[in-house]
């Protein structure tokens, strides 16, 4: 804005010097230079855009290939884990069939849980691949048949004993399904290894393509930067010719900055005065608060500040002397220990103070009893004033005096 003012309202001498410099300076092809710079920048931008687009595309392809490779490895691992868990399940089943101990049964249950978990993971991993789904659809029924047979043998062992379970185990032909499971797992592993080799080749090809693209972009941008060097050199010559004019404009700007600085100094002085006035107002409020505290402390009537839960937050010296102790014994204690509607302590839920605070109702000349350690209960009269915050009672001020005394 200041530069615009300096250009719009130049002095007469400044205009005269500028016109003189224009008469002496040779006329340069400014528009041609700007056009060349714009064309060069447009080419650089276009090349960078193409390089970035191709690099991002190859990066996404590489990432997708990496995801597929990780998925393939995971499928191979899960297939091996299914076969291992199935073997562990059969071993635990045989051990439980022979010994029948609780530890063997727990081992069988753990193997069964791990096998089911591997089946679920493998099913999720093969959900996006048709060939994997076909092989898994052949593998899953075989494994489930083995699991059902194992559960049946263990159930018979638990109910009918070892001999019945052994006859069931020996009478059932389970050799072929086990071999089929291994065959399907081997076929699945072989197919996945073929996919791994193919995806590794795609990853290498993407990496080579990315290197070629980046190399070509680097060469083209280097050539454009060299051409831009010569254009910038011509632009610097033009800037040197206008340096004298910029110097004079800077003088005008310095004058404007000096005037603006004076305005800021005046504003700072006004803010300093305002801060002093606020400080004195704060001191005045603090002084009034202290005077109010002195007035409360000088009262002979006992004054308490009680929270919504019945805890005493503050008390004046008259209240502290009534309990014959330091203020720490009064502050933090419950009102039911200090003031009650009868000669005995009562529950806070039945206390008139709680009911008055809940209904936001002041109390006047309410009879009560003062309870203090080391003293017999004394009859008192108290007043209550609720204190609200955002439409809700949060505290109450209670003034207490002994019956027969008047303020």
61-75 pLDDT, tens digit each: 777 777 777 777 888
226 and 366 together in one domain: no
124 and 66 together in one domain: yes
223 and 358 together in one domain: no
**pLDDT for the residue 385:** 93
Decide which of 26 and 318 is more confident. Answer: 318
Decide which of 203 and 6 is more confident. Answer: 203
Q: Which of 177, 211, 230 is the last residue of a domain?
A: 230
Residue 353 pLDDT exceeds 80? yes
Q: Residue 213: inside a domain, yes or no? A: yes
CA–CA distance, 118 with 115 (Å, rounded to integer)? 5
Decide which of 33 and 318 is more confident. Answer: 318
Q: Residue 363: inside a domain, yes or no? A: yes
Mean pLDDT value across residues 23-27 = 43
**pLDDT for the residue 11:** 45
**pLDDT for the residue 45:** 82
Most confident of 95-99, 168-172, 275-279: 275-279
Q: Which of 230, 248, 275 is the last residue of a domain?
A: 230
**pLDDT for the residue 362:** 94
Q: Residue 354: inside a domain, yes or no? A: yes
Q: What is the pLDDT of residues 280-295, one digit of tens each?
A: 888 878 877 777 677 7
* Structure tokens that stand for 243 in this block: 């340096």
Mean pLDDT value across residues 159-182 = 65
Q: Residue 8: inside a domain, yes or no? A: no
Decide which of 191 and 107 is more confident. Answer: 107
**pLDDT for the residue 257:** 92
For 122, how many CA atoms within 13 A lie in the half-sphere containing its CB? 28
Q: Residue 91: inside a domain, yes or no? A: yes
Residue 381 pLDDT exceeds 90? yes
**pLDDT for the residue 27:** 45
200 and 326 together in one domain: no
**205: alpha, beta or left, given left = phi > 0 and alpha = psi -120 to 50?**
alpha
User: Of the candidates 2, 23, 30, 74, which has an alpha carbon nearest to the alpha carbon of residue 235?
Assistant: 30
Residue 383 pLDDT exceeds 80? yes
> Helices 175-241 and 130-160: crossing angle, nearest 10°?
140
- Token pair 């690099």: residue: 55
Q: Mean pLDDT, the chain, as a whole number?
A: 78
CATH number at residue 219: 1.20.120
Q: How far is CA 227 from CA 4, 38, 223, 241, in A?
A: 34, 12, 6, 22
Mean pLDDT value across residues 262-276 = 90
> In sequence order, which residues have a C-beta less than 8 Å from that of residue 305 and are 6 or more positions away?
312, 313, 314, 315, 395, 396, 397, 398
63 and 209 together in one domain: yes
**pLDDT for the residue 281:** 84
Decide which of 26 and 226 is more confident. Answer: 226
171 and 119 together in one domain: yes
Residue 25 pLDDT exceeds 50? no
162 and 179 together in one domain: yes
Q: Residue 13: inside a domain, yes or no? A: no
197 and 265 together in one domain: no
Residue 24 pLDDT exceeds 50? no
Q: In total, how many domains does the chain have?
A: 3
Whole-prediction pTM value? 0.38
Residue 172 pLDDT exceeds 70? no
Mean pLDDT value across residues 352-380 = 87
**pLDDT for the residue 382:** 93
225 and 263 together in one domain: no
**pLDDT for the residue 324:** 64
For residue 279, the enclosing domain spans 257-298
213 and 264 together in one domain: no
Decide which of 150 and 401 is more confident. Answer: 401
156 and 215 together in one domain: yes
**pLDDT for the residue 143:** 82
73 and 150 together in one domain: yes
| pLDDT > 70 fraction of the chain, expressed in percent and rounded | 84
Q: Residue 367: inside a domain, yes or no? A: yes
Residue 179 pLDDT exceeds 70? no
């Amino acid at each position: 804005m200041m530069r615009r003012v300096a250009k719009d309202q130049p002095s007469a001498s400044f205009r005269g010097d500028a016109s003189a410099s224009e008469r002496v300076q040779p006329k340069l092809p400014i528009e041609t230079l700007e056009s060349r710079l714009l064309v060069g920048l447009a080419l650089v931008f276009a090349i960078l855009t193409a390089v970035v687009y191709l690099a991002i595309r190859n990066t996404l392809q590489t990432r997708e290939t990496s995801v597929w490779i990780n998925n393939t490895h995971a499928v191979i691992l899960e297939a091996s884990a299914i076969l291992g868990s199935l073997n562990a399940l059969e071993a635990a089943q045989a051990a439980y069939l022979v010994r029948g101990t609780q530890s063997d049964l727990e081992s069988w249950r753990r193997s069964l849980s791990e096998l089911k978990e591997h089946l679920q993971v493998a099913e999720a991993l093969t959900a996006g691949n048709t060939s994997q789904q076909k092989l898994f659809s052949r593998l899953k029924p075989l494994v489930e048949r083995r699991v059902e047979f194992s559960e049946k043998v263990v159930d018979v062992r638990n109910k009918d004993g070892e001999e019945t379970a052994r006859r069931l185990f020996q009478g059932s032909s389970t050799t072929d399904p086990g071999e089929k499971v291994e065959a399907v797992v081997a076929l699945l592993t072989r197919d996945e290894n073929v996919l791994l080799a193919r995806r590794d080749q795609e990853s290498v090809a993407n990496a080579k393509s990315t290197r070629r693209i980046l190399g070509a972009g680097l060469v083209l941008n280097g050539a454009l930067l060299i051409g831009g060097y010569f254009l910038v050199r011509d632009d610097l010559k033009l800037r040197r010719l206008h340096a004298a004019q910029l110097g004079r404009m800077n003088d005008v700007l310095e004058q404007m900055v000096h005037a603006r600085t004076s305005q800021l100094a005046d504003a700072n002085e006004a803010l300093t005065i305002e801060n002093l006035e606020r400080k004195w107002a704060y001191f005045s409020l603090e002084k009034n608060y202290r005077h109010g505290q002195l007035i409360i402390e000088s009262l002979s009537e006992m004054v308490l500040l009680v929270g919504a839960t019945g805890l005493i937050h503050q008390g004046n010296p008259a209240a502290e002397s009534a309990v014959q102790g330091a203020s720490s014994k009064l502050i933090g204690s419950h009102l039911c220990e200090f003031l009650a509607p009868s000669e005995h302590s009562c529950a806070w839920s039945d206390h008139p103070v709680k009911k008055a605070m809940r209904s936001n109702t002041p109390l006047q000349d309410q009879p009560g009893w003062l309870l203090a350690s080391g003293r017999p209960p004394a009859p008192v009269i108290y007043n209550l004033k609720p204190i609200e915050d955002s439409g809700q009672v949060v505290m109450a001020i209670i003034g207490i005096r002994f019956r027969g005394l008047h303020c």
